[in-house]
């Protein structure tokens, strides 16, 4: 239990002490994650913002830098992550290319000692591979309307094909079409969360994805940038200091870690209280049992007062009273002793002392 608690709380304590930077960019933007870690190995971790859309529900190590070289460890980032600079020199950057909406999430750089830097990346809806998906739902609407179109300046696409989490939308009963570029999801629920893809029928390479997440701004509300005012819109690698510090803020993954840590602490406290009460009750039982076993086999006779030739009355003086001390010892055999008793051992000795 202590080991599990340490593994849960310590990463949060380390990450919470770092500077969290917010980055919001459109699709297809190359994102630059800077890191000044020097103690190898250096690992880059990613926790997705849209878990259903990304098909990942836990933190993943996506890139590793050690004495043997560099490697990408998650399939979705293959050929899209490159290293710029030298980690041994104290400064390098991990570059994410061809970014898509499902790449949104928390990116953290950690060396062998501590977490160095952390980023909150938000890939907004926009033009990707000449296709753009917009959420045109009303703010109070219980339906979600997704509109697909060609990007401005690109080749116009006439026919589109929709899929949801890799399956044709024609298999979904809650979906109805308005032309081929619009999908309306009626009475949207958590079952409708995930990756929606709109692609050209004639050229499937022209497509875009949209992450529908009811817990974020991609749900029922119109798709708008809900980031804090101090967040800058990074437009690429050619801009310096495009990220704004977000000190003091906790991301959703960190909040989840805090909740888990608190639950574990409560469980440990309840377990400790239960063990204390159980041991105390057991100790009392043992004491009671020892007291019962140590009680004499014979009854003690109460003290008696013996007169000195005169009857004792309520008006007798203190000089006329006689104090008698009486003691009785019963030497009995326990059940474990099976040998016969001798005459001396079965005798009750008594002493009477008269003052």
What is the tens place of the pLDDT at every residue in 325-339? 444 444 444 444 445
Tokens of 141: 């609407």
Predicted TM-score (pTM) of this structure: 0.59
User: Residue 43: which of 15, 4, 19 has the closest Cα?
Assistant: 15
Angle at 116 between CA 113 and CA 119, to 5 degrees: 145
Nearest CA to 195 out of 60, 48, 28 is that of: 48
Q: What pLDDT shows up at residue 219? A: 58
Q: Which residues pair with 110 in a beta bridge?
A: 43, 115
**What pLDDT score was predicted for residue 217?**
58
Please tell me the predicted confidence (pLDDT) of residue 250: 54
Segments of the chain with pLDDT less than 70: 1-18, 217-254, 294-355
Contact 103, 30 (CB under 8 A): no
Which residues are CB-contacts of 331 (< 8 A; sequence separation ≥ 6)? 345, 346, 347, 348
Q: Of 202, 39, 221, give the one whose Cα is nearest residue 116.
A: 39
Cα–Cα distance for residue pair 255/262, rounded to 1 Å: 11
Cα dihedral: 251, 257, 262, 263 (round 10): 130
Q: Judge contact between 193 and 230, C-beta under 8 A.
A: no
For 143, phi then psi, to 5°, come to -110, 160
Per-residue burial over 301-340, b if 16 or more Cβ lie within 10 Å, else e, is eeeeeeeeeeeeeeeeeeeeeeeeeeeeeeeeeeeeeeee
Backbone phi and psi for residue 219, each to the nearest 5 degrees, phi listed first? -90, -120
Determine if residue 269 is left, alpha or beta; phi over 0 gives left, psi from -120 to 50 gives alpha, anything else beta: alpha
Element (H, E) at 134: strand 131-135
Per-residue pLDDT at 338: 47
pLDDT at residue number 199: 95
Most distant CA pair in the chain: distance in Å?
136
Say what the pLDDT of residue 14 is: 42
Q: Can you name the residues that pair with 83 across neighbouring β-strands?
A: 94
- What CA–CA distance (Å, rounded) separates 48 from 140? 27
Instruction: Name, in order, each residue with C-beta under 8 angstroms of 306's C-beta and a sequence gap of 6 or more.
Output: 322, 324, 354
Closest to 101 (Cα-Cα) out of 61, 35, 146, 161: 146
Best CA proximity match to 22, nearest among 212, 210, 209, 248: 248
CA distance 95 to 279: 58
Length of the chain: 355
Is there a cis peptide before residue 24, judged by omega within 30 degrees of 0?
no
The phi and psi torsions of 163 (rounded to 5 degrees) equal: -135, 155
Please name the helix (run of DSSP H) or strand (run of DSSP E) that holds residue 102, with its range, or none: none
pLDDT for 3: 38
């Amino acid at each position: 239990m202590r080991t599990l608690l340490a593994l849960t709380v310590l990463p949060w304590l380390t990450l919470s002490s770092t500077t969290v930077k917010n980055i919001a960019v459109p699709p297809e933007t190359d994102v630059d994650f800077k890191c000044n870690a020097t103690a190898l190995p250096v690992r880059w971790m990613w926790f997705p913002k849209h878990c259903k859309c990304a098909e990942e529900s836990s933190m993943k190590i996506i890139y590793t830098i050690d004495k043997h070289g560099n490697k990408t460890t998650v399939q979705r980032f293959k050929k899209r992550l490159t290293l710029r600079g030298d980690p041994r020199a104290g400064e390098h950057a991990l570059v994410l290319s061809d970014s898509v909406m499902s790449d949104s999430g928390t990116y953290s750089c950690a060396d062998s000692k501590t977490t160095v830097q952390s980023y909150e990346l938000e890939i907004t809806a926009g033009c990707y591979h000449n296709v753009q998906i917009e959420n045109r739902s009303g703010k109070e609407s219980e339906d979600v309307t997704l509109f697909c179109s060609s990007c401005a300046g690109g080749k116009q696409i006439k026919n589109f094909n929709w899929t949801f989490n890799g399956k044709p939308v024609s298999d979904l009963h809650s979906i109805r079409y308005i032309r081929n570029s619009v999908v309306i999801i009626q009475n949207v629920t958590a079952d409708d969360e995930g990756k929606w893809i709109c692609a050209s029928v004639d050229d499937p390479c022209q497509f875009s994805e949209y992450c529908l997440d009811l817990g974020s701004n991609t749900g029922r509300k119109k798709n708008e940038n809900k980031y804090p005012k101090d967040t800058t819109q990074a437009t690429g690698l050619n801009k310096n200091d495009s990220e704004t510090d977000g000190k003091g803020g906790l991301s959703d993954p960190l909040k989840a870690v805090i909740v888990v840590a608190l639950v574990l602490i409560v469980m440990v406290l309840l377990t400790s209280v239960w063990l204390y009460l159980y041991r105390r009750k057991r100790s009392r039982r043992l004491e009671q049992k020892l007291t019962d076993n140590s009680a004499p086999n014979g009854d003690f006779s109460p003290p008696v007062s013996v007169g000195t030739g005169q009857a004792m009355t309520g008006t007798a003086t203190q000089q006329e009273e006689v104090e008698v001390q009486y003691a009785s010892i019963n030497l009995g055999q326990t059940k474990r002793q099976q040998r016969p008793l001798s005459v001396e051992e079965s005798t009750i000795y008594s002493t009477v002392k008269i003052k």
